[in-house]
A and B are shown apart, each in its own frame.
Chain A
Amino acid sequence: MAGVAVSTTINGDSVEYLCQPDETLLDVLRDRLGLTGVKEGCGTGDCGACSIILDDRLVCSCLVLGAEAEGRRVETVEGMAHGDSLHPLQQKFLEHAALQCGICTPGFLIAAKDLLAKNPDPTEEEIRFGLAGNLCRCTGYDKIVRAVQDAANVMKGA
């Protein structure tokens, strides 16, 4: 099959790649561009481990085709920190031990970033429903919710 040429922006950088028409954006990010911070937990949009922000919208990159990224902005976990200074969410996830195995963490961070961009002062319930598309099997979510609450407070003050 002939490849599709795609020009897009990933974490602020212009990127061009060739991909197959049936190739998911998840596979492009991981296998062609080396952005393995984006994880595959199911490949069917059920676990949220591959969450990215596509033009201000939170999506599962396993449900988006690589070709669909043409002319759009993609944001992954790799773009969250600036230099060696972590995003407040990343910092609070560390401080609250909001991760155990850490495989779901990139997806949670992206989903939480999207949540706080749209709702800077969420209630516990809003956080719980806002992150309900991301599965974590280790933590019971308690420390994740607390980390997001704490990060929201820090970001409001900033």
Chain B
Amino acid sequence: MNFDPRYSTRNFASVGTRPIRPDGVDKVTGRARYGADFNMAGQLVGRVLRSPHAHATIRKIDTSKAEKLPGVKAVITAADLPDLTDGDAAMYDILDNCMARTKALYDGHAVAAVAAVDVRTARQALKLIEVDYELLPHVTDVDEAMKHSAPLINDAIFTEGLEEKPVKPSNVTKRSQFGHGDVHQGFGHADFIVERSFKTEQTHQGYIEPHACVASVSSDGTADLWVCTQGHFVYRQHCAQLLGMEASKLRVTSSEIGGGFGGKTHVWAEPVALALSRKAGRPVKLVMTRDEVFRASGPTSATSIDVKIGARKDGTITAAEATLRYSCGPYPGSWAEIGAMTAFACYRLENVKTVGYEVLVNRPKTAAYRAPSAPMAAFAVESAVDELAKEIGMDPVDFRIKNAAQEGTRSSYGPVYGPIGIGPTLEAVKNHPHMKAPLGKNQGRGMACGFWFNFGGQTCTDLNIGMDGSVSLAVGTVDVGGSRASLSLVAAEELGIAYEQVKAIVADTSSLGYNDMTDGSRGTFSSSMATISAARNAIKILRERAAQMWDIAVDDVVWEQGHAVAKGEKHGNLGKLSLKEIAAASGTTGGPIAGHSELVADGAGVSFATHICDIEVDPETGATRVLRYTVVQDAGKAVHPTYVEGQYQGGAAQGIGWALNEEYIYGKDGRLQNPGFLDYRIPVCSDLPMIDTQILEIPNPNHPYGVRGVGETSIVPPLAAIANAVSNAAGVRMAHIPMSPPRILAAIEAERAG
């Protein structure tokens, strides 16, 4: 494919408009089908038995009583999911997380599952399964887990990335390091140095739709899986590998997805449902309860971060250093590594060093959550940056502008930046009316910056032109928030036709080539690139057909605004041919007209945002109220601006919840104490103000329209912006997220006590 992804300026007809989404009516009438809304004839109900212990050896599982219960059609344990991972350690961890093999590693770890004729029978059967546990000491806190005295979660793990190979196993699975220059020397040139330690608690993505799937394995070795996922092609690969199937024999259909935010990029229940169906010989529907969603899926890392930043009197940062410790759950991950890469990415630094430590704890396996790892690092860094600006006596926005990265800056994670938007977002914030809004008593304003990489990845798209000239667009990235609308706009733009003429669908794994996970803010970036490429391939065919219809050379035909136009003096009398006319004649000019695209959409542009917020703190109770909130972010090019705003607002709201309230609370027994929306309280409508947005468009040079990912960056600044606002309102620096009323009150009282 000779597709040129480079950006070139153009005037848009469709891109940038705000039409109603094609899946909208189904979603407001209740017709749209999500994970749990699908049923198959003869389906059974699947249920999972989960460990109530944080850490225990599984001595024996006796399923015989459960198997004898009338109505039970299958009971499975790890023995029914044999290890077929062939030395692939990451896949083995996925398998072990789906069904514990020798040890239960966290409260909620699956140990067995049943399929029965109804829910009541399935629940009864779970109670009849006897598991003989030998309890082991556990550790759930990230700092505690790093101590030499901590219980070991996996004695086969030795810390990677150390200069000398360790001789003893450890809960620290990896050390990683980034940076350049000499921080020691840099701090020597500083007039002011701020050094502080921060903590953030574990949160959940909190999608409203629990994980749900329907699995049907046939005795001929083929299978169907209906599932809510961010990546049905990846789920197919993983499930096929874990069950010993050929990928092409497993057809995975992505249902409408009720929120993911990174949490639906990992398999949990799906291999279990397939194994149950295989054993029972009937379809199995498996839907997690909310309790299971909290205990066994999701969450993000809990962190402990030390930051040190030094600057001269004139406000130039001379050195910046951070040590980041991120919990991974009981399996190795690379979460601190990402935190270490993103921590100082907003700034132009001569001397910078970050070190990340991945830490095992007896909590659920950490999963990606919207710009994973970046919000916590930004919280620590942006809090310290604010404090440093204050010490120097500079305005926090001016201080950041002075040190902001720009085109040509060597990023703190290594490469040199191309054109980027951190400076423009800061300038926009400086001039934003929000900065001049009056503040009352006990009210404070905070601002902060955030960075996220954005990804591309493997992408495949089909564009089929019907005989009536309407266009079907089949994409393989999942629509998590309006991408069918934005991709229809892109197809319409490229073909020069009306948005309404395009119908986009998310194709299943048997109908389209492989697509990577819909993650890293890549949905619109990658699939729009593939859609543009597919449309251009279709236009090539449309031009050939028009040339045939006119009986002229194809080189004399150009495509303009949805029409084939003959160029050159000798064709002056030829009228235009519309897409519709060419499509109508396709049967006799060579058959169906389609454009396909298979590509790796690399070159996703990095993204920056700056947020402002005003918070009121009640000094008597520590309660907070969000008064105003503004998001300024670079979108590259906003394809459907309303949904871009929606991403900005949604990310901000999740960040607000994380900053002020959300946290996993573990008891001394290592059990999760708040696995429900009542006690794990996410923001509700009355907690929030309107969230103002400003979209900046600094084109991504590696996308034909200049598009950058927009989905994730908006969750990066809020923790810090709110911490800065609360600190300004309460007069005391808040270093522990969430800033729940008891924590704020304790900080205020400690300050009063001196």
Residues of A whose CB lies within 8 Å of any CB of B are 20, 30, 35-44, 46-47, 49, 76-78, 80-81, 86, 90, 93-97, 99-106, 109, 124-125, 127-129, 131-146
Contacts and interface: CB of A to CB of B under 8 A. Distances in A.
A124 B688 CA distance: 11
Contacts of B654: 137
B643 A142 contact: no
Please give me the 9 A-B residue pairs with the lowest Cβ-Cβ distance, nearest first. A37-B30, A103-B258, A140-B653, A102-B27, A140-B649, A46-B677, A100-B481, A36-B37, A77-B30
A141 B28 contact: no
B684 interface: yes
B678 A142 contact: no
Given A46-B676, A80-B29, A100-B482, A94 B684 contact: no
A80 B259 CA distance: 24
Interface in B258-313: 258-261, 287, 289-290
B30 A41 contact: no
B677 A139 contact: no
Contacts of A133: 684
B688 A42 contact: no
B259 A128 contact: no
B25 A43 contact: no
Contacts of B258: 39, 41, 101-104
B539 to A, nearest CB: 30
10 contacts: A38-B30, A39-B34, A101-B259, A101-B481, A103-B209, A137-B259, A137-B261, A140-B649, A143-B649, A145-B690
Contact of B646 (A35, A129, A143): A143
B25 A101 contact: no
A140 B646 CA distance: 8
A140 B676 contact: no
A114 to B, nearest CB: 14
Nearest to A81: B29
A35 B37 CA distance: 9
Contacts of B652: 140
B570 interface: no
B542 to A, nearest CB: 32
**Could you tell me the dominant secondary structure of chain A's interface residues?**
loop
A135 B30 contact: no
Given A132-B685, A141-B688, 11 more contacts: A41-B258, A90-B28, A97-B18, A100-B650, A101-B208, A102-B28, A103-B209, A139-B653, A140-B652, A140-B688, A142-B649
B612 to A, nearest CB: 15
A39 B28 CA distance: 12
A76 B650 contact: no
Nearest to A126: B686
Nearest to A100: B481
A61 to B, nearest CB: 13
Interface in B215-268: 256-261
Contact of A135 (B36, B37, B481, B684): B684
Contacts of A103: 34, 207-209, 256, 258-259
Contacts of B210: 40-41
B480 interface: yes
Nearest to A31: B39
Contacts of B682: 135, 137
B677 A135 contact: yes
Contacts of A20: 120
Given A46-B677, A47-B677, A138 B27 contact: no
Contacts of B687: 132
Given A35-B30, A102-B32, A137 B206 contact: yes
B90 interface: no
Contacts of B181: none
Given A101-B257, A102-B256, A138-B646, A47 B30 contact: no
B58 interface: no
Contact of A97 (B25, B37, B642, B686): B642
B21 interface: yes
Nearest to B677: A46
A134 B685 contact: yes
A106 B208 CA distance: 12
Interface string B632-646: 000000000011011
A111 to B, nearest CB: 10
Contacts of B136: none
A65 to B, nearest CB: 15
Contacts of A145: 685, 690
B259 to A, nearest CB: 5
B61 interface: no
Contacts of A127: 685
Nearest to A44: B676
A96 B643 CA distance: 10
B31 interface: yes
A81 to B, nearest CB: 6
A67 B611 CA distance: 50
Contact of A100 (B120, B646, B676): B646
A137 B208 contact: yes
B653 A41 contact: no
B20 interface: yes
B298 to A, nearest CB: 12
Q: Max chain A CB contacts within 10 Å: which of B27, B32, B289, B480? A: B27
Contacts of B731: none
Q: Max chain B CB contacts within 10 Å: which of A39, A77, A140? A: A140
B649 A109 contact: no
B24 interface: yes
B30 A93 contact: no
A96 B677 CA distance: 27
B37 A77 contact: no
Interface in B663-712: 676-678, 682-688, 690-691
B33 to A, nearest CB: 7
Nearest to A107: B208
A30 B34 CA distance: 12
Interface string B498-538: 00000000000000000000000000000000000000000
Contacts of A43: 289-290
B30 A138 contact: no
B259 A94 contact: no
A138 B647 CA distance: 8
Contacts of B32: 102
Contacts of A94: 20-21, 24-25, 28
A135 to B, nearest CB: 6
Nearest to A110: B30
B28 A140 contact: no
B665 to A, nearest CB: 16
A86 B27 CA distance: 12
